[in-house]
Chain A
Amino acid sequence: MNNQDFESISLQWQETIKILIQSFNKILNKYLTYKEKTPAIVEKIYEKSFYLFRITNKSIFNEVSIVIKNLLNSNLLTTRKKQTLLEEIEGWLKRNKNQGQAVHDMMNVIIMVSDDPTFTTDRVNFELILRIYIEIVYFAAFSTEYSTYFYNLELMCKAFMKKLFTINVLNEGLAMEIKEVFVKCLPELLVTKVINKKANETSNIFLHLFFDELENSIMTIEVAHLKKLFCSLFSIMTLKNPQYFSLIENEGQCLYISFIRRFKSVSEKIIASGEQGYIDMILEIVLEKFSLITDPYSLKSLKFKEEMVKQEFQIAKQIVLYYLTNQNSIDPSKMPVQKLCKCLKQLNIAYVRLEQTYDLKVEAEVSPENQFSTVIFNHLHKILDSGKDNALTLRVLELLLELFEDFSQKLESCTASTKLSVH
């Protein structure tokens, strides 16, 4: 037999193998609807399906994935057996990242599995799905065939995010799993930006889907979990990677800008709700995580710094103004007053530095009477003027003295209305 004959026979048998798997799938589907199932046959079907998955390669993966999908979607197998199959899928994905079409087929399996309550209500199974999901996101980042699978990846992300929130995992203390996804995926996706421009789109889509779902259920998530989640997101979205930021061509590609804009809309929603615990949490995040406050110098070398400063500044300003206009909600004996004062001070320092040192007009579009320092100053004046809370009045006075140096210029323009307060 010469090579050509051999190849033709080999291809013919490959075709038969495909038809054999299709016929197996047809029989499996029929058996799923059969009422008098026996354990022996179920075991045989499982054994053969597992076998098919183990020997699968590019040429038969489409057929095999349909068998696996049907089997996972049925109640034929025990959870343990389904789990074993999923573990096999995970291993397969790790070994076969370059097999674009096959991974694409696998995405369909995972989209389907993420709708299966067996897998999303049980912690162990949920983690398994999560790990597979991460493998697929990695694939999307590294694959050169990425664009072909883009639509499916987005679908999968949507299905997954929806599931993540509908089962209310955050309330069940699974916030760490979400953190794990971000910790594992996003930094790598950011790094791959250098290699693959599309990877950044993945991160952005991932981020927006995540926030879409988060905004819908934000007030149902416990404050402590929410804070943990935001803190880990801020840690991941670190600004200390100037190389990455300098490579970005436009603002829309910058993940941090996308992130801070979405965080802004979340914080607006929280402020509008008037829920004190949640609002305090936003203030804490502003103080602990905002570069504008913690490390304004780090912004200097970054591309699109003006947009970053603007977004962070607006969030900080909104939260500060909330506290100033709702003094009744401030309990002077508790932390928020101290934190608020710290925030005001830091914000002012950053404001002065940014405007004077870096020549950044953080509030260029705002009229002078509505500028940050003027507004803050007028609010402080009102608090002092009302004089209904001695502890708060005292703290505001201290704060004004602390701020005095930085505010001196602004102070002069407000002297008329604030004489009494300062002295």
Chain B
Amino acid sequence: MRVTESKNFRYGIIEYFYAISDHISKHFMQNEAIWLELFSFLNINAEEKDPEIRNSSLNIFAGIINNYGNEYTPAIWQKVLEDIYLKSFDKIFEVYFNLLREEIKIKSLPDTPEYILSLKDDFDLLKKAKE
């Protein structure tokens, strides 16, 4: 019961971010720090264990950008995207790939994840070489 209540409370908070973003857009539209704070919070939730919380965080993250993105300065875009969203993007994929690795170990399976992993490794190597 408590778990459910706690979940509902957290959903409520995440949903509330739409209203907050609306308020920020009216009063602090060009304030980089406030926007970054808001997105950082959403981002933390995007890596949560609870699937519903992380999924709705991702949806709300994109929803807010969709609502106000045209009014952001290039600097806000740069930071929100590079420092926050894409980092989370990599982390979520990392978790997913680790799970696939486990799956291969547990089930001694299959071609597709192996293939994906090999591609990912290739890509990581390329990325490192580039850096």
B-contacting residues of A (Cβ < 8 Å)?
3, 6, 9-10, 12-17, 19-20, 22-24, 26-27, 29-31, 33-36, 38, 40-41, 44, 48, 51, 54-55, 57-58
CB contacts under 8 Å to A, within B35-94, are 51, 54-55, 58-59, 61-63, 65-66, 69-70, 72-74, 77-78, 81-82, 85-86, 89, 92-93
Binds A, one of B5-13, B14-22, B25-33, B98-106: B98-106
With A26-B66, A30-B70, A54-B123: A40-B78 Cβ-Cβ less than 8 Å: yes
- Interface residue from B72, B89, B122 paired with A20 (Cβ < 8 Å): B89
With A3-B106, A38-B77, A57-B116: A48-B54 Cβ-Cβ less than 8 Å: no
In this complex, the interface size class of chain B, counting residues with CB under 8 Å from chain A, is 35 or more
- Closest residue of chain A to B124 (Cβ to Cβ) is A51
Q: Is the CB of A26 within 8 A of B119?
A: no
Q: Is the CB of A30 within 8 A of B65?
A: yes
The residues of B that contact A13 with a CB separation of less than 8 Å are: 51, 92, 95-96, 99
Q: Is the CB of A33 within 8 A of B70?
A: yes
Nearest chain B CB to A30 CB, angstrom units:
4
Q: Choose among A10, A14, A27, A54 the residue with the greatest number of B CB atoms under 10 Å from its CB.
A: A27
- Closest residue of chain A to B52 (Cβ to Cβ) is A12
Is B120 interfacial (CB 8 A cutoff)?
yes
A-B contact pairs, 29 of them (CB 8 A): A10-B99, A14-B96, A15-B55, A16-B54, A17-B96, A19-B55, A20-B58, A22-B59, A23-B62, A24-B89, A26-B63, A26-B66, A27-B65, A27-B81, A30-B69, A30-B70, A34-B69, A34-B70, A34-B72, A38-B74, A40-B78, A40-B82, A41-B81, A44-B86, A48-B86, A48-B89, A55-B116, A55-B119, A57-B112
Docked CA distance A389–B58 (Å): 87
The residues of A that contact B70 with a CB separation of less than 8 Å are: 30, 33-35
Nearest chain A CB to B49 CB, angstrom units:
9
The residues of B that contact A29 with a CB separation of less than 8 Å are: 66
Q: Is the CB of B106 within 8 A of A6?
A: yes
Nearest chain A CB to B52 CB, angstrom units:
9
The residues of A that contact B99 with a CB separation of less than 8 Å are: 6, 9-10, 13
The residues of B that contact A27 with a CB separation of less than 8 Å are: 62, 65-66, 69, 81, 85
The residues of A that contact B93 with a CB separation of less than 8 Å are: 17, 20, 55
Nearest chain B CB to A16 CB, angstrom units:
6
- Closest residue of chain A to B99 (Cβ to Cβ) is A10
Docked CA distance A14–B69 (Å): 27
Q: Is the CB of B119 within 8 A of A54?
A: yes
Taking A30-B70, A34-B72, A41-B78 as known contacts, 16 extra A-B pairs with beta carbons closer than 8 A to each other, sorted by chain A number, are A10-B99, A16-B51, A17-B92, A22-B59, A26-B65, A27-B65, A27-B81, A30-B66, A31-B69, A33-B70, A36-B73, A48-B86, A54-B122, A54-B123, A55-B93, A57-B116
Q: Is the CB of B102 within 8 A of A6?
A: yes
Docked CA distance A13–B62 (Å): 18
Nearest chain A CB to B105 CB, angstrom units:
10
Docked CA distance A17–B107 (Å): 22
The residues of A that contact B112 with a CB separation of less than 8 Å are: 57-58
The residues of B that contact A40 with a CB separation of less than 8 Å are: 78, 82
Q: Choose among A10, A13, A33 the residue with the greatest number of B CB atoms under 10 Å from its CB.
A: A13
* 4 shortest interchain CB distances as A-B pairs: A23-B62, A26-B62, A30-B69, A12-B51
